[in-house]
Amino acid sequence: MQCHDDNLGGDWLQSDFHQLAAFYSEAQHAITGIADTPRAYKTQYHGRSEPEAVLPNVPFAEDLIDAEGSRRERLARWVTHPQNKAFGRTTVNRAWALLLGRPLVEPIDNMPLAGPYPPGLETLAEDFVANGCDLRRLFRSIAKSRVFGLSSQADAGSQADHELTDEHDKNWAAFPITRLRPEQVAGGLLQAARLKTINADSHILLRLARYGQTNEFVKRYGDTGEDEFDTHGGTIPQRLLMMNGDLVKQRTEQNLIGNAATRISSLAPDDEQAIQSAYLAVLTRKPTDEELQHFTGSLAGARGNRRLRFFEDLYWVLLNSTEFSWNH
């Protein structure tokens, strides 16, 4: 839309883009931050021979825009105006996608101005606007919903072990299985390697280290960008980074002070509790009977370095499992 009108069935024009962009023409970098300095916005429209000045304007609900304040202030008040229903709907749609991995309306960046909308969207949007655009309340409301609390497995009922269908997915009858975003994978890796929660009460050096390590991991893992909510699997470089990368290696190798794998190996009272502790730390669940039997059998009689190496390998296997890097 920046270069031409929307010819794919939408109503947006090239002028809509540039009229919105004009609201930011006054924003300039200064020593103290962003400052607003009077400045015209010019562009050369597709098919025109010369650049021309463009006045700021909004693509709909023009009666909600006021004339006071800087251009950015006017746009911000228009966006968050209680009667601008589009803002509430769009915010709810993205918040829903962040928590459940898939938006209520797809594609996420093309919310229609007119309905019909799926059940729940309007109710959440109205509550969001009525409560002063409180994001904390919105996320809490979605997290408390029955949909968010569903399992990713179908309710077998009288039909044991039946497969999930497209209808389950379409109607939110099961939690959608979605891959974690890069920063979530990094956060999971760092937390799984420690037996205490990393939070705002953690030592400042630990939090700084986590920040730097997360950024480095995300840079190498690859940000999904506009494909943030795409459901396809990970890439080969991502799998190789998980299998051979420094972050995973450093969080699984023997280290009694820093790594949970070594501490579990050394401190757990018996093999069964050690295996269960590793599963809880990495996958936040206990192993199945089959998994527990398999690993306790492999661990039986292991002592010293052999036992430590076993837990290095177990941690590596769990961190590289599909279950670890997908939300379900």
Query: Mean pLDDT, the chain, as a whole number?
Result: 83
- Check: CB of residue 213 under 8 Å from CB of residue 186: yes
CA distance 79 to 72: 10
The proportion of the chain whose per-residue pLDDT surpasses 70, expressed as a percent, equals 89
pLDDT tens digits, one per residue of 106-135: 888 888 888 789 989 999 999 999 999 999
- Check: CB of residue 141 under 8 Å from CB of residue 127: yes
Q: How far is CA 49 from CA 43, 44, 45, 46, 52, in A?
A: 11, 7, 8, 9, 10
CA distance 124 to 142: 8
Question: In sequence order, what are the residues at sequence separation of 6 or more whose Cβ sits closer than 8 angstroms to the Cβ of residue 14?
Answer: 1, 2, 3, 4, 5, 45, 46
Looking at the chain, list the stretches that DSSP marks H as alpha helix, in order from N- to C-terminal side. Answer: 14-21, 71-79, 85-100, 121-130, 135-143, 166-170, 182-192, 204-221, 236-244, 246-252, 260-267, 271-283, 289-299, 304-319, 322-325
- Check: CB of residue 193 under 8 Å from CB of residue 251: yes
Domain assignments of the chain as residue spans, ordered by start: 14-79, 85-143, 182-327
CA distance 265 to 307: 7
Residue 288 is classified by DSSP as: P
pLDDT tens digits, one per residue of 42-98: 888 777 888 888 888 888 989 998 888 888 899 999 999 999 999 999 999 999 999
Q: How far is CA 97 from CA 39, 108, 132, 142, 183, in A?
A: 37, 8, 21, 10, 16
User: For residue 28, what are the β-bridge partners?
Assistant: 35
- Check: CB of residue 151 under 8 Å from CB of residue 174: yes
pLDDT at 158 over 50: no
CA atoms lying within 13 Å on the CB side of residue 309: 6
pLDDT at 50: 85
pLDDT at 160: 47
Q: What is the mean pLDDT of residues 312-328?
A: 88
- Check: CB of residue 186 under 8 Å from CB of residue 238: no
255 versus 103: which is more confidently predicted? Answer: 103
pLDDT at 280 over 60: yes
Q: Which two structure tokens, joined as six digits, stand for 328? A: 């379900």
User: ∠285-224-59 over CA atoms, to 5°?
Assistant: 120
